[in-house]
Amino acid sequence: MPLHALELVPDEAGLEAVRHDWQRLRDAGLPSQLDHRGATNAPHLTVVSAPELPDAAIDVAAARLGSLLPFRARSAGLLLLGGERLTVARALDIDDDVVRRVLAVRVQVPDRAHLGWLPHVTLARRLDRADAQRAVDVLGHEDVVLTFTRLRRWDPDAGRVTTVAGW
């Protein structure tokens, strides 16, 4: 079942920085989020995802996160998540106030997909474990600073993305 989501989206410079990572992976013949053909595919930081989002969660997100936009986050490393097949992501260092506000949104969604919150931007999915070192080498180790400017809602039932806050 597709999951509904609230997502934070970076400004144009941040979108380009993440898409550059996507392109580097693709150019190396590795899986990349650039290969995801969905019209709504864009670099983002997931706040919460669930089979459905209660109105309270959307209201809290608009009030608590919308008032912080824009905010900056530093990507200071890579994450490899999963088992036989890996997800490659940039880990994000996020201000404590943003984290507290995200957690205030997440508690409004009792059937959320994941407990806890690991802030990251996904770069690739379904990477063979044998290709992990190559992906790390391709992506390098430079820090990336992203400025998040928009909170959006993904509704897979309607196939629609709407802006909840920001620009």
- Ranges of residues in the chain with a pLDDT under 70 are 39
Report the alpha-carbon distance of residue 137 to residue 114 in Å, rounded. Answer: 29
Report the alpha-carbon distance of residue 135 to residue 61 in Å, rounded. Answer: 34
Which tens digit of pLDDT belongs to each residue from 3-34? 999 999 999 999 999 999 999 999 999 999 99
Instruction: Report the Cα 104 to chain-centroid distance in Å.
Output: 18
Determine the pLDDT at residue 21: 97
Give the pTM: 0.94
Sign (positive/negative) of CA torsion 9, 71, 141, 15? positive
Determine the pLDDT at residue 143: 87
Q: Which residues, 6+ apart, have CB-to-CB distance to 131 below 8 Å? A: 30
Residue 105: count other Cβ atoms within 10 Å of its Cβ: 25
Report the alpha-carbon distance of residue 107 to residue 57 in Å, rounded. Answer: 8
Determine the pLDDT at residue 78: 96
